[in-house]
Amino acid sequence: MKKILVPLAAAGLLAGVGAVNAETPGVSADRIIMGQSAAFGGPAAALGTGMNHGLMAAFQEINKAGGVHGRQLEVKQMDDGYEPDRSIANTRQLIEQDNVFALIGAVGTPTSKATQPIATEAGVPFIGPFTGAGFLRDPNNSNVINVRATYDQETETWIKHLTEDLGIKKVAILYQDDGFGRVGLSGVKKALEARGMSLVAEGTYKRNTVAVKSALLEIRKAEPEAVVMVGAYKPLAEFVKLSKKLKMDPVFVTISFVGSTALANELGDQGEGVVISQVVPFPQDTTIPLVADYHKALKAYDPSLEPGFVSLEGYMVGRLTIMALQEAGKELSRENFLSSVYGTGSFDLGGATLNYGNGDNQGMDNVFLTVIQPDGSFKAVETLTR
């Protein structure tokens, strides 16, 4: 078994790894209870809801099969509205009052930035956050288990394809004015600088608003050939629609966090050609065993739900959690759960493999591009065209 780097706050608990621990929070003879603080209301609600749907589809699937070592998996969800202060209050309640076993499916960089240190200090697993922020990949944060690629990997993919496929030289950026947006800004700048380029314009908007017009007017002055966007679906949809109304028609590229289906729905007939980077398999490709399993589980959970990138990511987080719990054994503790992730190392979900190791808490590095089609569906592409 590979050595696991344990947060300092949890170092004193090492003696209990693998041992019987009847006092493990959130664990009883027949239940394992986890907590999810995420956006279930407001402009990012589709993201928290989608992650929860995927998680619950995976958990219901295993629960119907008898659970994990006879225990049913449950999730206590709390709405943080994609606001750090609310996520802090929720996280403290989930850990200190509700005594959940782990935190799972958090949504967003600013909220994770606020709550991950709380989880790390308490030695609580922080599983599958819906963000590619680099600070969550710090090897000292070994209670954090990431599934997806980083935002730096996504932004590098954008600039590579824009410059190599389309020969674009003038790139502008719209970003959310917070930690999430600035992580994306940093990644774009690094990718451009590696090619001897720089941004021609920058525009920002405030989180949980759709106030993008002033940013658009600033960006338009530079006459960009491409606008890359780091934000949530409602403000970005507003930006694209306003741009087209003002006859500005660059290549629009945005990040996986946006919530692809939600963005396409918001854009309606204005969405054609918008490029979105993705970090999970194509959710309609049922030739991939993982995706076929996901379709079946999602339909069993709620027949009214449509498959999508966000809920597929939630399903993958759920499946990884189940496999790690199975590996940890009947005598479950937070420490042997984390040890099972790093010790097992590789988790084959059926067409997507997550790999972990000493100092490596990120499962996948995959990034690919999709383009919104005239009917609002998505097409995976290897090369960008105009």
State whether 140 and 174 are in the same domain: no
How far apart are the C-alpha atoms of 189 and 379, rounded to whole Å?
Answer: 27
Q: What is the tally of helices (H) and strands (E) in the chain?
A: 11, 14
Q: Is 86 exposed, middle or buried (0-12, 13-18, 19+ CB in 10 A)?
A: middle
pLDDT under 50 in the chain at which residues?
1-21
Domain membership flag for residue 3 = no
Is residue 363 in some structural domain? no
The verdict on 298 and 242 lying in the same domain is no
Same domain, 43 and 177: no
Token readout for 175 is: 């970003």
Residues, the chain: 386
**Statement to judge: residues 254 and 374 lie in one domain:** yes
pLDDT tens readout for residues 73-110: 999 999 999 999 999 999 999 999 999 999 999 999 99
- What is the reported pTM? 0.91
Judge if 233 and 375 occupy the same domain: yes
CATH number, position 133 = 3.40.50.2300
Which residues share a beta bridge with 348? Answer: 353
Whether residues 33 and 129 fall in one domain: yes
**Number of domains the chain is built from:** 2
Q: Is residue 179 part of a domain?
A: yes
Residues 281/291, Cβ–Cβ less than 8 Å:
yes
d(Cα 318, Cα 19) in Å, to the nearest integer? Answer: 25
Torsion of CA 312, 315, 321, 327, to 10 degrees: -100
- Do 194 and 144 share a structural domain? no
**CA gap 44, 233 in Å, rounded:** 7
Residue 362 in domain: no
Give yes or no: residues 68 and 14 share one domain.
yes
Same domain, residue pair 207 and 294: no
| Domain hosting residue 313, numbered range | 8-149+285-355
Whether residue 139 is found in the same domain as residue 13? yes
Looking at residue 386, its pLDDT comes to 84
| 374 and 342 share one domain | no
Task: Say if residue 260 is in the same domain as residue 289.
Answer: no
